[in-house]
A and B are shown apart, each in its own frame.
Chain A
């Protein structure tokens, strides 16, 4: 049968489909290089999101091939041969599987070489994610094959692609609801919020079962000559869909915090500066501004002696006000690094000084004017740059900061230090209403 599979690979549309899958995957990954080039977890996600388009494409490709028998009128001839139908479609189905699997894994391998050169943390589980894609693509192609055999109209392949895409769009919309399970059928789930969030085994299993269900139903339908295998295909598909919907849980349960990814990696020398394993390649850029910030904070009594990257102890749920986060250990100041492959914040010093080193201490972010003013005082300036420039406050906000810092500086030096230290300690204890601590009770 190997010779027949090789013939099918050469002479069917399998190679064309493989080329299309490769091209679409490369294009999809190419538009988001910055997001995934250094992170395995982001890479596997971005690689898998192309399935959104690739699965309908594979279905259309399968349908094109499925039409072949009736389109070329070989049914009469084949009908006189003895090989059972399930064996007869095996080389065709195998050629489709080899084509889609090779294309999907080839693109993964290409990207993986790049990621392997940049990533500082390699989760073993990430390497299994593309296998899910292979199964889903194979299932889509085989289901298309069955559809093409049943309805050899020229309209069937594009119709399948459009219907498949429309279904995925509808399902993708469900993924924004954290309580929804229907979104588990979407091939483009919500992305992880933090770089250390990994997809759960149950979520991978869900897509794996869905793909296997599509594949089994496709084979049964393609080989079916009576109602029994068709009914079995319906049952298999329904069962697989139900498992894929239920097993992964709600959309909010899709990711978990990978503690290995959060493991701290520290730079040589003192004071100690540490980042998470997933961001270890940022460490050389972080050390200098972090130590500069630590030196500035040292003007306060009880100043922190080490700086570590902020980590969340929970998976961030989009729309939630609760970012989670480990509370800063005594003597430690925390800072945040960009979560989507961006460069290190050029204002990292300001970011660390904000709140006199308390902004990323695991407490809710409140009383920003007071925190900015305390940071500006520590830095010796009248204002402080917003973290990474992403939070834009109005002129009034910055005027308040300058006014607060100005009034603070008009006080005796010891009082200035006392008030800023008091603010720091209050913020570290997650207390609210910080501004009166700096102003001596007055609010502007």
Chain B
């Protein structure tokens, strides 16, 4: 399906990085879950890795503007994420799939994605086409008019992805997007990620190292709310060739990096 290209998509970028964090701190409750993070992300697919409690979800929530940073600087698509005056315009260009994807069970797939497109302030005329396109991209066209409460966990996750990409976001944030997807769907999803990352900044938070290696252009590893490693998936694989624990070189590279970081601190 052919889609219209909006003016902001073809406008020259006025910022160096789509995500630019400097000494960023974000609280989760009273705890500093992200602590002094420095991070710069541009166009491409960035796999965010880290153990449980590393601050991945808190960082994703800050990147999605759901929580305000407690300190430091966070620039998203050239806008200060803490500046309420530019927040509305910024949010129009965001797509977000939270770790827990909330939905209205009585809505159909189409209605819910349409509702989210409306909330993301898409032009009314563009919504029906964009909704159909995003539903097709996640392979749910045959269930478009099914109520959400009738869908399986994997299908719901795909609805979550559809609503996140409906507005062709410049910054797409996906927190655990492959939970509930079967192997075939995960392979399809990786293809979709690569397409999306061609002209936007996609941040995928996941525990699945092989997904990152297969689909991401960049790996970001955090632990204790701080950056441990940022590099290419190939670098991760290379590190795993000389030690670490895990079933694949990428997993061994992951554990090697974590162990080094923990030993150093």
**Residue contact A77 to B96, C-beta cutoff 8 Å:** yes
Q: Judge whether A72 is part of the interface by a CB distance below 8 angstroms.
A: yes
What are the residues of chain A within 8 A of B105 when measuring CB–CB? Answer: 72
Per-position binary interface string of chain A over residues 403-435, scored 1 when its CB falls under 8 Å from any chain B CB and 0 otherwise: 000000000000000000000000000000000
What are the residues of chain A within 8 A of B163 when measuring CB–CB? Answer: 77
Looking at B84-92, B184-192, B213-221, B229-237, the stretch in contact with chain A turns out to be: B84-92
Q: Judge whether B211 is part of the interface by a CB distance below 8 angstroms.
A: no
Q: Judge whether A440 is part of the interface by a CB distance below 8 angstroms.
A: no
**Residue contact A73 to B118, C-beta cutoff 8 Å:** no
Q: A4-B114, A11-B111, A78-B119 are in contact. Are A72 and B91 (CB under 8 A)?
A: no
**Residue contact A77 to B118, C-beta cutoff 8 Å:** no
What are the residues of chain A within 8 A of B98 when measuring CB–CB? Answer: 76-77, 80
Q: A3-B114, A7-B115 are in contact. Are A84 and B88 (CB under 8 A)?
A: yes
**Residue contact B64 to A80, C-beta cutoff 8 Å:** yes
What are the residues of chain B within 8 A of A80 when measuring CB–CB? Answer: 64-66, 91, 94, 96, 98
What are the residues of chain B within 8 A of A81 when measuring CB–CB? Answer: 91, 116, 119-121
Q: A11-B106, A82-B121, A83-B120 are in contact. Are A76 and B91 (CB under 8 A)?
A: no
A68 and B106 CA atoms in complex are apart in Å by 11
B residues contacting the other copy or chain, number (CB 8 A): 32
What are the residues of chain B within 8 A of A72 when measuring CB–CB? Answer: 102-105
* B 4-18 contacts with A by CB, 8 A: none
**Residue contact B104 to A83, C-beta cutoff 8 Å:** no
What are the residues of chain B within 8 A of A76 when measuring CB–CB? Answer: 61, 66, 98, 100, 102
* A 57-78 contacts with B by CB, 8 A: 68, 72-78
**Residue contact B120 to A11, C-beta cutoff 8 Å:** no
Q: Chain A interface: which size bin?
A: 20 to 34
Specify which of A1, A12, A75, A83 lies most central, judged by the most chain B CB atoms within 10 Å of its CB. Answer: A83
Distance in Å: Cβ of A68 to nearest Cβ of chain B: 7
Q: Judge whether A79 is part of the interface by a CB distance below 8 angstroms.
A: yes
What are the residues of chain A within 8 A of B127 when measuring CB–CB? Answer: 3
A88 and B65 CA atoms in complex are apart in Å by 17
What are the residues of chain B within 8 A of A83 when measuring CB–CB? Answer: 118-121
A77 and B107 CA atoms in complex are apart in Å by 16
> Which residues on B are within 8 Å of A, measured CB to CB?
61, 64-66, 87-92, 94, 96, 98, 100-107, 111, 114-116, 118-121, 124, 127, 163
Across the A-B interface, the 8 shortest Cβ-Cβ residue pairs:
A82-B91, A74-B102, A73-B102, A81-B119, A80-B64, A80-B96, A11-B106, A79-B66
